[in-house]
Amino acid sequence: MKKLLLLLALCAGTAMAQEALWSGSQVTSPVVNADGTVTFNVVAPKAIKVEVTGDFLPPQRIETAMGTYEAPGVAELTEQNGVWTYTSAALAPELYSYSIRVNGMSILDPSNVYVNRDIASLTSIFIVTSAKGDKGDLYQVNEVPHGDVAKVWYDSPTLKMKRRMTVYTPAGYDKGKNYPVLYLLHGAGGDEDAWTTLGRAAQIMDNLIATGKAKPMLIVMPNGNTNCQAAPGAWSKGMYTPSFMGSLDQPAVASMDESFPDIVKYIESHYKVAKGKKNRAICGLSMGGGHSFATSKRYPDMFGYVGLFSAGLHIGGDNQGKSFYQLLQGSPEVQGQLAKLFAAKPFYWIAIGKTDFLYQQNADLRRYLDEKNYPYEYLETEGGHIWRNWRIYLTEFAQKVFK
Amino acid sequence: MKKLLLLLALCAGTAMAQEALWSGSQVTSPVVNADGTVTFNVVAPKAIKVEVTGDFLPPQRIETAMGTYEAPGVAELTEQNGVWTYTSAALAPELYSYSIRVNGMSILDPSNVYVNRDIASLTSIFIVTSAKGDKGDLYQVNEVPHGDVAKVWYDSPTLKMKRRMTVYTPAGYDKGKNYPVLYLLHGAGGDEDAWTTLGRAAQIMDNLIATGKAKPMLIVMPNGNTNCQAAPGAWSKGMYTPSFMGSLDQPAVASMDESFPDIVKYIESHYKVAKGKKNRAICGLSMGGGHSFATSKRYPDMFGYVGLFSAGLHIGGDNQGKSFYQLLQGSPEVQGQLAKLFAAKPFYWIAIGKTDFLYQQNADLRRYLDEKNYPYEYLETEGGHIWRNWRIYLTEFAQKVFK
C-alpha cells in the first residue's frame, strides 16, 4: 500500500513525460511461444513493407562477382490495423539475433530493449529454450548462484598504458580460494565486452558450475587490441565508431602475446587464484585464437590448457601465397617454440566450423600436430565463423579444463 | 606488418558477412563540430520525412485535456542523394539523448552505437564539451585514472533473495584502505544499472577524484525494487519488458529501507572500507530520494550524510488529499524518527528542479526542517524531474561528503 501511494505520487504530473522522453511501444515483441515459434510485432501504420531478418531464418545464398556468400534470411510481416506481425517456424534452442526492416531500412525491434553490439552493429536478441541443459537454457540467466562480473583497469607496462578487462569471479568466490583461471580472448573487431554480451560467458559459466559440469574458475576477458585501452566509449578516445579495422590500424608498442604476462601478473596479485600452468588455461576465438596460439608458444610454461576457437593463425615473414602448413615448415623459430610447448605437454584443443574460412589453416595446424605426434582434441561443428559456434566452444572447453 | 597480414586473412572470404550480420552505416552520425553544433546524418533514400527529436532541442509545450506538458523538440532533416542531414545550434556542454523519426517512426540513430536505456526506451546519446571541468568534460571518459565497476551479487536475508548491485571502487583501491562509501539510489523504473549509464556515475567520480574535488570513495548502487533480484535481463525472470510499474506491482517481503542493512553489511565485510556513520553517505533520485529519507530516519546512526535528489517522499497511513507537511504533522512516529535522526546530526542536503512535480513535497520537508531548526543545504536548479539534474546533484553532493 505504501508503495502504491508512492507510485501514484511518482506517476502524477509530468514525471513520465520528463523522465522517459520517449514512451515504450504498445506491443510486445518478440514473443517466444510455448511451441518454440516466435512472434514479432511491429507498430508501423505508415509503412509499406516490414520485414524481419536474422539468424533464426534459413540463410539466403547470394551470388556476386566476388563469389557466393550466405546472408541472413528475410521474412515479410503482414499488417492489420497498423500492427505488422510474423510468426517463425519452431526454433531450436539458441540465442538469436535479428533486426527489423521498415521500407528497406534496418532498425532494432522497437519493442525489444535487449540488444547486442557486434563491432558497429546493434541487433535485437532473444533466447529460445525448451529443456534443462539445452543451449537456450545454458545461455539464459537461471535460478542458480551467479558469479560477479567486473570491469577492471590493470597496468600493462609492456603496452605502456592502463587497460580494461572483464573479470568473472564464480559464485562463492568470497568464501573460496586457489581458483584456476581461464583467459578468454575475443576476435578482431571485438573488445573486453564481447564475451559477456555476444558470448554469454557469465551465464554459460554460472550454469555449468551450478550443475557441476565445470569447476569454479575465474574467467578473464582482456582487450586484445593492443593500441586500445578499452572498448569503444570506455576510454579517452571518446564515442568513436567501432570498426573491424579501427582497432588495428594504429601502431602499438608490443603484441598481445608479448604483453600477456602483464595480465597474468595482475590477476595473480589481485585475486585468490592458484598459480602454475595447471591452473591457467588460454583460449580465444578468431584473432583471439591466434593470440592463444602465439601466447602459449611464446611462454610454453605458462598455460596447461590451450583452446583455439576458429583460430586466425599467423606466422611472420613472407607469407605471400603460402599455406599455413608451408609457413610452419618454413619457420625454424616457430618450430622451436612449438617443440618447447609440446615438451611442456599442455592440453591442446582445436574447434572450427565446417564452412569457416579459416578451416584450412586449422587443418594445416592439425596436420603439423599429427606429424609431431602431439595429442590434441578436435571438435568440428556445422556452420562458419559465427558466435553461435564460439558459445558452443566455450561450453565444451570450460568442461575440459582444470580436471 | 604481422597484424596487417592477420587482418587481411580475417577479412578474406566470408568472415565479415558471417560475423557481423548487418553492416555498419555509410555515414558518421552524430558529428560534434568544433563550434559546439552537432550534425546528424541518416541514410534513408526511400524516406518521405526524417526528423530528429531530443533534449538538445528547445522543448515544445503540448496542451492536452489533462494539462500542459513539455515534450522534446523536433527538427526536420533535409535530403540530398538519399542522405538526410540536420545541424543543431551550438549546444551547451552536456550529455544529450535523441532519437530519429523516419516517416513518423522513432528509431535509434543507425550510425551511433552509443545507447542508453531509460525504463523501456532506448535512445542514442552524445556528449558536447568545450572546456576542462564543464559538464560534458565531467561526463566523458578522460585520460585520468579509472575506478573499477563491478556487478556484484549480495545476500539479502531480509528480502529472502540474492540481489545484484553495482559497485564502483576508485582508482588506487587495490593499494589503499579505509575508504568511505556513498550509497547511490535510483528512481522508480530504474535499476542497479541506471546510475552508471544514464547517470555517468563512474565518469563523474573518476573526474572529481582525479582533480581532487571529491575524496576517493566507493559508490554502491543497489537495486531499489525490492521484489526484483536485478535489472531486467540480469536475473531469472528473463528478458521481460521493463516498465515504470513493472518492478513495483508484485509484493515484496520487506521495504528497501528495512532491508538496507543487508547491503551495508555486505559492503563492510567484502571491501576495504571504513565503518561508522562518518564514513557512510546515502543519496538517491526520486524514489531513491524517498529511500534515502526513509532509511536514514529508520537507522538514525547509520549515515553521516543524507542527500535527497528530487525526492519522492512518502509517509504511510491515510494520505488522502494531504500535503506532505500535513502528513509530517500528523505522524508522531515519523516525527519521533526524525528527532532521533536530528540528534545524530547528519549533514542533510536537498536538491530539486524548479519545475519538478515533487517541488512542493520537498518545500514541505524544508519547512519542517526550518521549524525544527535543523540545518541543511539546499540546491534549486532549472528544469524538472530529469537525469540532467540528477547528474548535477551527484556532482555537487559527492564534493560535500566525507570532508
pLDDT band at A396 (very low <50, low <70, confident <90, very high): very high
In terms of C-beta density within 10 A (0-12 exposed, 13-18 middle, 19 or more buried), how is residue B80 classed? exposed
Domain architecture of chain B: domains with CATH: 24-129 (2.60.40.10), 141-315+322-398 (3.40.50.1820)
Q: How many CB atoms lie within 10 A of CB A242?
A: 21
Burial of A392 per CB tally in 10 Å (0-12, 13-18, 19+)? buried
Give the phi and the psi of residue A250 in degrees, each rounded to 5: -110, 150
Of B4, B18, B114, the CB nearest to A386: B18
Contacts of B352 in chain A (CB under 8 A): none
Q: Which of A18, A209, A257 to mutate to test the interface with B (most CBs of B within 10 A)?
A: A18
Band (A246; pLDDT cuts 50, 70, 90): low
Q: Is B245 on the interface with A (CB under 8 A)?
A: yes
Q: In terms of DSSP bridges, do strands A94-102 and A50-54 run parallel, antiparallel, or are they unpaired?
A: antiparallel
Residue range B335-341: mean pLDDT, rounded:
98
Q: Cα–Cα distance between A194 and A190 in angstroms, integer?
A: 6
Residue A220 in grid coordinates: 578473464
Nearest CA distance, B121 vs chain A (angstrom): 6
**Any A CB within 8 A of B236 CB:** yes
pLDDT at A23 over 50: no
- Which pLDDT score, from 0 to 100, does residue A70 have? 76
Q: Closest partner residue to A150 among B110, B148, B239, by Cβ?
A: B148
Q: In this structure, what is the dihedral angle of CA atoms A90, A121, A139, A357, given to the nearest 10 degrees?
A: 80
| Tens digit of each residue's pLDDT (9 = 90 or more) over B77-122 | 999 999 999 999 999 999 999 999 999 999 999 999 999 999 999 9
Give the residue carrying C-alpha cell 552524430: B30
Q: Is the pLDDT assigned to residue B240 strictly greater than 70? A: yes
Which 8-state DSSP code applies to residue A89? Answer: P
Percent of chain B with pLDDT over 90: 85
Asked whether the bond before B300 is cis by omega within 30 degrees of 0, the reply is no
Reported ipTM? 0.93
- Is there a contact between B187 and A25 if contact means CB atoms under 8 Å apart? no
Measured between CB atoms, which of B6, B110, B290 is closest to A6? B290
Which of B13, B21, B121 lies nearest to residue A20, judging by beta carbons?
A: B121
| Residue matched to cell numbers 522517459 | A20
- Bridge partners of A52? A75, A100
A99 close contact with B: CB closer than 8 A: yes
Band the pLDDT of A18: cuts 50, 70, 90: very low
DSSP codes joined into one string, A236-267 = TT-SPPP-TTTTTSS--SS-HHHHHHHHHHHH
Do residues A19 and B118 touch, judged by C-beta distance below 8 A? yes
CB A158 within 8 A of CB B60: no
Distances in Å between the alpha carbon of B76 and those of B50, B87, B98, B102, B171?
6, 10, 13, 10, 44
Is B101 in the A-facing interface, judged by CB distances under 8 Å? no
A121 to B23: CB separation less than 8 angstroms, yes or no: yes
B250, pLDDT greater than 80? no
Yes or no, beta carbons of A270 and B174 under 8 Å apart: yes
pLDDT at A320: 81
The minimal CB distance from A236 to the residues B113, B143, B248 is found for: B143
End-to-end CA distance of chain A: 53
Q: Average pLDDT in the B216-223 region?
A: 98
Grid cell in block for residue B378: 539546499
Q: What is the pLDDT of residue B5?
A: 39
Give chain B positions within 8 Å (CB) of A71.
Answer: 17
The pLDDT score that the predictor gives to residue B23 is 46
| Range of lowest pLDDT (B60-69, B70-79, B388-397) | B60-69
Q: Does A346 sit behind a cis peptide bond, omega within 30 degrees of 0 on the bond before it?
A: no
Partner A contacted by B66 (CB < 8 A): no
List the single best residue of A41, A105, A387 to mutate versus B (max B Cβ within 10 A): A105
Res. A14: pLDDT tops 60: no
